[in-house]
Structure 1
Amino acid sequence: MCRLLGYLGSPVQIDQLLCQPKNSLVVQAYQPKEMELALMNADGFGIGWYHPEKETFPYTYKQITPIWSDLNLTQISRYVEASCWLGYVRSATPGLAVDLSNCQPFTSEGLSLSRPLLFTHNGYIDQFRKTLYRPIRLSLNDDVYLHIHGTTDSEHIFALILHQLYTQPKLSLVQAVETALNQLSDIAQAAGNVFFCANIVISDGQQLVASRFASNAKAPSLYWLENDPNYPDAVIIASEPLFEGNWKRCPEQSIIRVGEDGTVNTYQVAPRCYS
């Protein structure tokens, strides 16, 4: 399990949200308040951001050390100013390696999509290597299959979304996420009703799309905050509130979209029926 953070709005220095708040992502790494299946998030961290003016692939900075021990992060996050960025701290799923290839955010760099993507995931697939590792890979087209560099359940969930966008270019990002979640549910059901959690924050640099979703399990916490007095033209999505404010809890089995103009829409994912 992990803790996630996404921002879309007027440009800010990343450290204002990553490091400075009372319950910043740095604090959530060693003292999370709402994480039930682990005590700490000390197996690495990452940030990813889009250039506020240039159309380029997003930039990432990742490490496999605890976020609080990285002396460079405070300098980098204070230097980088971005209007769209993601962050995460990792608590590795048992049995999955702690190395840079497994460190988020993941990107779509190398694939021909309409817009480059950043992706983070908080959750797990039960006994992933034994249950859904092979079925997920069998469902992917060749280019997306070859795009997987690590071994995590998180990257394979990202691959399901990439597969939808790659094979159906007209899908919106919300549609691709919903279709991928439904596909994951179908694969899990066919493999013996495997349970999983899939809290996601994904972006193409112009919008944020997030999910709070689980199958046969309780979904991890996820919140959003819009037009806070300190961030009047922004929306923040986070696993836990970073500071006092009018945070709203994302409903379970839902997808939230933050548009380029800051408009927030939520969508319920229709339950799957299996006979």
Structure 2
Amino acid sequence: MCRHLAYVGPEEPIGRLVVAPPHGLYRQSWAPRHQRYGTVNADGFGVGWYAGGDPVPARYRRAGPVWADQSFADLARVVRTGALLAAVRDATLSGADAEAAAAPFASGVWLFSHNGAVAGWPASLARVAGTLPPEDLLALEARNDSALVWALVLARLRAGDDPGRALAETVTEVAAAAPASRLNLLLTDGAGVTATTWGDTLWYLRRPGGGTVVASEPYDDDPHWQKVPDRTLLAASGTDVLLTPLKDPGGDALANALASPKEPRT
């Protein structure tokens, strides 16, 4: 299990969102408060951000723990952005992918993170992986479940799906193939944030100065943090947040909910 966070809003130093909060993502790398699976997020971290009007985000990723990277501390202190996605990766089985396995994954304007695990990986998704074009499989950044889930999402985005449908249909497809999976997904294009809850925690905060934070857990004790129910699709733009229920695979409610999203949660 990992922890992740996305933000869209007025420009802020990266460190004000990731490092400075008393229970921010930086501290969650060794002392998360709401993490149910795993305890130390020390097997890599990353941050992607949008700057200077460039629609394509920059990324900084490393294979080690965020607290050991002094270069990141300097970068986070001085770089400002109006949108970012950051993640710390749970301690897991060793592998050769190093920082390539650390979120955020990226393509074009998109940044993506997966907080969770695919049950029975990799055998459980062999059939699902076969639906992707061979070139997409060969282009995977890493040989882990999150990279494949990202490939499934990206294929839908490239086919013209909006972000909400791309995430929702990927979640239900993977959950049907591997029912015990935890699939909290996070996606941004620098203008909005789309996320799912499926097996773990997610919260959001409308910030008083404008903008919205979506995170695995609150980074401080502000009473305005709102918990997102499990099996929910979240879409945030500015301070508008829409929550739509996700149903288990095989039902018709998902299609109906995507066609008629709920009003913003208050």
For normalisation by structure 2, the TM-score amounts to 0.89
2:124 matched to 1:131? yes
Other-structure match for 1:142: 134
Distance 1:96 1:198 in 2: 21
Deviation, 1:10, is 0.4
Aligned residue type for 1:127: G
Distance 2:78 2:38 in 1: 32
Aligned residue type for 2:114: H
Structure 2, unmatched stretches of 5+, are 252-266
Deviation, 1:127, is 3.0
Secondary structure of the corresponding residue to residue 120 of structure 1? strand
Secondary structure of the corresponding residue to residue 42 of structure 2? coil
Aligned equivalent of 2:191, options 206, 230, 249: 206
Other-structure match for 1:62: 61
Distance 2:136 2:91 in 1: 23
Note the 1:161-176 alignment, pairs <5 A: 161-166=153-158, 168-169=159-160, 171-176=161-166
Other-structure match for 2:257: none
Deviation, 1:95, is 5.9
For normalisation by structure 1, the TM-score amounts to 0.86
Distance 2:129 2:142 in 1: 12
Other-structure match for 2:50: 50
Other-structure match for 1:113: none
Contact conserved, 1:4 with 1:86, CA < 8 A, in 2? Answer: yes
- The C-alpha deviation readout for 1:225-271, integer Å capped at 9, x for no partner, is 0033xxx2110011111112111101100011112x43111111122
Note the 1:158-237 alignment, pairs <5 A: 158-166=150-158, 168-169=159-160, 171-188=161-178, 194-213=179-198, 219-228=199-208, 232-237=209-214
Contact conserved, 2:111 with 2:189, CA < 8 A, in 1? Answer: yes
Contact conserved, 2:184 with 2:196, CA < 8 A, in 1? Answer: yes
Other-structure match for 2:247: 270
Aligned residue type for 2:61: K
Aligned equivalent of 2:215, options 232, 235, 238: 238
Q: CA RMSD in A?
A: 1.7
**Where do 4+ consecutive residues of structure 1 move more than 3 Å?**
92-98
Distance 1:272 1:126 in 2: 16
Aligned residues: 250
Identical counterparts, % of pairs: 26
Distance 1:127 1:93 in 2: 15
Deviation, 1:20, is 0.6
- The C-alpha deviation readout for 1:54-86, integer Å capped at 9, x for no partner, is 23x211000111110101111111121111101
Aligned residue type for 2:137: Y
Closer/same/farther in 2, CA of residues 95 and 138 from structure 1, 3 Å limit: farther
Report which stretch shifted further, 2-11 or 84-93: 84-93
Distance 2:52 2:127 in 1: 39
Contact conserved, 1:44 with 1:98, CA < 8 A, in 2? Answer: no
